[in-house]
Copies of this chain bind each other. A is one copy, B any other.
Amino acid sequence: MIRISIRNDLFYIFANIKYLNMDMNNRTSCTVIDYKRSCFEELTEKQKKKIFDNEAVVKYKKGETLCKQGTFATHIMIVEKGLVKVQIEEMNETLILKLIPEGNIIGLTSISSINPVFHYSAIAYVNTVVRLININIFREIITENSNFAFTVFDILTANSIQMSGRFFCLTHKQSYGKLADTILCLADRIFKKQEFELQLTRKDLAELSNMSTENVIRMLKKFKDEKLIKIKGKKFKILNYSKLKKISELG
């Protein structure tokens, strides 16, 4: 791991920064899956109807659990509205695997027939609306429609890429890099704006970046002092995107 001391000078540029830039462009901001197409485009009208006739729409309040790790997975969940975190729970601790914004699917890793349990828990950050699709119907349609099966492969692949990217970030980057990464991810992939109202607490940010709450607070202050971001209450604004990106890339 490259040790960087950005504590005193956030913008000390290393000799190899050009190389880093070249190499990193594709795997920063890695907490949200980068998959645009809907897998339902591939379905026939009949198949769409089959899903539509069997689905249920459920509302969850902030903080509620959508699914609990280890329970039987009877449904696939599609997040229609809201924001959800997916985490694994071990040893009385949690690790957030990814954030699920609107339009994304939860529970695809449970379509396996061998072991149809949820391998993670999902919890709503904000009030959230979810469509539930019966897992057996989902399986039937995969059997019927191989194009659909391939789009499901695509989603699983995208998930895997996203996860390995996040894995790399949290194991190989220091705290400044991890936090910068989290902020950029929120801006780029969740809110898709440089300015957004963040419903997450510092504790949530800490959990996301795998660091202590106190450290998040200290570093946010540093970012603020360096005029990289502006924070007012819950409102975040990114003032210097490129330098934030550079911090993320340097680690």
Seen from chain A, the residues whose Cβ lies within 8 Å of a Cβ on chain B are: 1-2, 16, 19-20, 23-24, 27, 88, 90-93, 95, 97, 109-115, 119-120, 139, 142-143, 146, 149-150, 152-154, 156-161, 163-168, 170-172, 210, 249, 251
Inter-chain pairs besides A156-B157, A166-B167, A167-B167, 8 sampled, C-beta below 8 Å = A2-B92, A88-B164, A88-B165, A95-B168, A113-B150, A142-B149, A160-B163, A171-B171
Which residues does chain B contribute within 8 Å of A20, judged by CB atoms?
91-92
Which residue of A23, A146, A153 has the most chain B CB atoms within 10 A of its CB atom? A153
Contact B154 A153 (CB under 8 A): no
Chain A interface helix/strand/loop/mixed:
helix
Complexed CA–CA distance, A153 and B156 (Å): 9
Interface pairs A-B: 10 shortest CB-CB: A143-B146, A112-B157, A112-B154, A109-B157, A95-B168, A167-B167, A156-B156, A170-B171, A149-B149, A109-B160
> In the complex where A146-B142, A156-B156, A160-B163 touch, is A24 in contact with B120 (Cβ < 8 A)?
no
Number of copies: 2
Contact B88 A168 (CB under 8 A): yes
CB A76 to nearest CB in B, in angstroms, measures 13
Which residues does chain B contribute within 8 Å of A23, judged by CB atoms?
90-92
> In the complex where A112-B150, A150-B113 touch, is A171 in contact with B16 (Cβ < 8 A)?
no
Complexed CA–CA distance, A109 and B150 (Å): 11
Q: Can you show 15 pairs from A to B with CB atoms below 8 A apart? A: A2-B91, A20-B92, A23-B92, A27-B88, A88-B165, A95-B172, A109-B160, A112-B153, A115-B157, A119-B161, A119-B164, A143-B146, A146-B149, A156-B160, A163-B163
